[in-house]
Amino acid sequence: MGSAASAAVPPPPPPAQVQAGSLPYGPGLAGILPPKPEGEEKKEEKKVDYLNLPCPVPFEEIQREALMSLKPELFEGLRFDFTKPLNQKFSLSHSVFMGSLEVPSQSTETIKVPTAHYEFGANFLDPKLMLIGRVMTDGRLNARVKCDLTENLTLKVNAQLTQEPHYSQGMFNFDYTGSDYRTQFQIGNNAFYGANYIQSVTPYLSMGAEIFWLGHQRKSGIGFASRYNTDKMVGTLQVASTGIVALSYVQKVSEKVALASDFMYNHMSKDVTASFGYDYLLRQCRLRGKIDSNGVVAAYLEERLNMGVNFLLSAEIDHCKKNYKFGFGMTVGE
Amino acid sequence: MASGAAEKGKALVDGSESAAESAARWAREWSTWAMKKAKVVAHYGFIPFVILVGMNSEPKPRLAQLLSPI
């Protein structure tokens, strides 16, 4: 009664401190109690079944994402393609091209040849048999056949036949697909023989090797390739005894955007090329652009105007060689 | 072919060639002749073959559809 109530209210007791991330049992108990079983379950989910790996991509398509993004079919002039489907599997195609084609030359100058041609094609596409033939007005035939001989064995034939003798080329490929490997044997004209083998090593990594033999020039070569593939990125490496080292990396940034880069070193000609490009897959268009270490800038646009009608624009600018290529075209039908 | 001519020259000089050599030469010439004929057949016949296979697939398209431009 006489005690003066102090103005200071005693502080409330400190709340029970919850330490996030602390051990649920004190450090002293860690050595005694067994580790939590949840950690073991997580490890088992990630455990790889090495006897059940996925089938790798074919050896020649090891760099397909990079090639699709960085090497569109650039052209100069006018291009018009019309595909007429007669059937679910059978279609005819008519194609007109008027413009310049570049002829490979030894000197630094580019040689352009103005050409105009009409190409008629017939396509038969069946799951088991694919026949594609294209014939031009000058008599050149471009034929591709893909036939499933058995469930795992496929025969592919690729031929360019010309009216002039000794200019025709043909290649027969026999592909065998196993559970986690692929192997291919090739026979071509000029006594070309080749074989390659690719194997899935982990769910993400596949490695392969190839050898080839050119009969008429008595040249042979061996190469090694590997590909690391996840949902978001693809990285490949290729080394060949012809002195070529090629690396590529593609990153899928989102559903609509992919970025790709490519590096090639040719030991024989001491040539180094690096390129970097993007690939936008939008609803109405597909735009691909790239820039090169040689100073070449290129872009390719496919705009969907209507169902089955595509408008194409292609551009390639090389200031160093003074080579400017602009083309436009239209594709009707798939 | 250069190698074929050289072999023929050798046979003439030797005056006789063994059965194996003549069989090999005959096989090489015959396979070259066969490849040349096969190339001509493929060149002229591939597109008609694709059209034939396509026109006989189900559902069968009509000839008018093949020839009309629409």
Which residues of chain B have a CB within 8 Å of the CB of A141?
42-43, 46-47
Q: CA torsion angle for A283, A291, A272, A318 (degrees, to 10)?
A: 130
Mean pLDDT, residues A44-50 taken together = 69
**CATH architecture label of A59-333:** Beta Barrel (2.40)
Which residues of chain A have a CB within 8 Å of the CB of B46?
133, 141, 143
A228 shares contact with chain B (CB less than 8 Å): no
Angle, alpha carbons B29-B31-B35 (nearest 5°) = 120
Q: Give the residue from chain A lying closest to B64, CA to CA.
A: A86
In the chain, the amino acid numbered A258 is A
**What are A125-183's pLDDT values in tens digits?**
999 999 999 999 989 999 999 999 999 999 999 999 998 888 899 999 999 999 999 99
Which residues of chain B have a CB within 8 Å of the CB of A157?
none
How many separate domains does chain B show? 1
Mean pLDDT, residues A179-202 taken together = 93
In the chain, the amino acid numbered B5 is A
Report the C-alpha gap between A302 and A320 in whole angstroms. Answer: 27
Higher pLDDT, A44 or A84: A84
Percentage of chain A lying above the pLDDT 90 cut: 71
Has residue B6 been placed in a domain? Answer: no
Mean pLDDT, residues A185-201 taken together = 93
Has residue B37 been placed in a domain? Answer: yes
Has residue B13 been placed in a domain? Answer: no
Q: What is the pLDDT of residue A28?
A: 58
Alpha helices in chain A (DSSP H): 27-30, 37-45, 64-70
Q: Is pLDDT at B62 greater than 70 in this prediction? A: yes
Which residues of chain A have a CB within 8 Å of the CB of B55?
86, 90
- Asked if residue A332 lies in contact with residue A309, where contact means CB atoms within 8 angstroms, the answer is yes
Has residue B26 been placed in a domain? Answer: yes
In the chain, the amino acid numbered A156 is K
Q: What is the pLDDT of residue A106?
A: 77
Which residues of chain A have a CB within 8 Å of the CB of B66?
86, 92
Contact B47 A133 (CB under 8 A): yes
**This prediction's pTM:** 0.78
Point out which residues pair with A130 in neighbouring strands.
A125, A146
| A161 → closest Cβ in B43, B55, B65 | B43
Has residue B40 been placed in a domain? Answer: yes
Query: Which of A184-188, A226-230, B66-70 is predicted least confidently?
Result: B66-70
A19 shares contact with chain B (CB less than 8 Å): no
Q: Is pLDDT at A33 greater than 80 in this prediction? A: no
Q: What is the pLDDT of residue A68?
A: 93
Q: Domain span at residue B50?
A: 21-67
Q: Report in angstroms the alpha-carbon separations of A310 from A72, A75, A328.
A: 15, 16, 11
Q: Give the residue from chain A lying closest to B32, CA to CA.
A: A189
Q: Is pLDDT at A103 greater than 90 in this prediction? A: no
The H or E element spanning position B37 is helix B19-55
A120 shares contact with chain B (CB less than 8 Å): yes
Best mutation target among B46, B63, B70 (most A Cβ atoms within 10 Å) is B46
- Asked if residue A309 lies in contact with residue A319, where contact means CB atoms within 8 angstroms, the answer is no
Contact B54 A90 (CB under 8 A): yes
Provide the residue count of chain B.
70
Report the C-alpha gap between A272 and A265 in whole angstroms. Answer: 5
Instruction: Name A213's Cβ contacts closer than 8 Å, sequence gap at least 6.
Output: A191, A192, A193, A194, A219, A220
Provide the chain B residues 1-20 that lie in CB contact (below 8 A) with chain A: none
In the chain, the amino acid numbered A209 is A
Mean pLDDT, residues B48-70 taken together = 88
**What are A238-270's pLDDT values in tens digits?**
999 999 999 999 999 999 999 999 999 999 989
- Asked if residue A108 lies in contact with residue A91, where contact means CB atoms within 8 angstroms, the answer is no
Q: Is B47 helix (H, G, I), strand (E, B) or coil?
A: helix
Contact A90 B42 (CB under 8 A): no
Has residue B61 been placed in a domain? Answer: yes
Instruction: Name A100's Cβ contacts closer than 8 Å, sequence gap at least 6.
Output: A76, A77, A112, A113, A114, A115, A325
Composition of chain A by helix, strand, coil, percent to 5: 5, 55, 35
**What are A274-287's pLDDT values in tens digits?**
999 999 999 999 99
A144 shares contact with chain B (CB less than 8 Å): no
A90 shares contact with chain B (CB less than 8 Å): yes
Peptide bond into B59 cis (omega under 30): yes
Report the C-alpha gap between A180 and A172 in whole angstroms. Answer: 23
Contact A161 B47 (CB under 8 A): no
Residue A26, class by beta-carbon neighbours within 10 Å (0-12 exposed, 13-18 middle, 19+ buried)? exposed
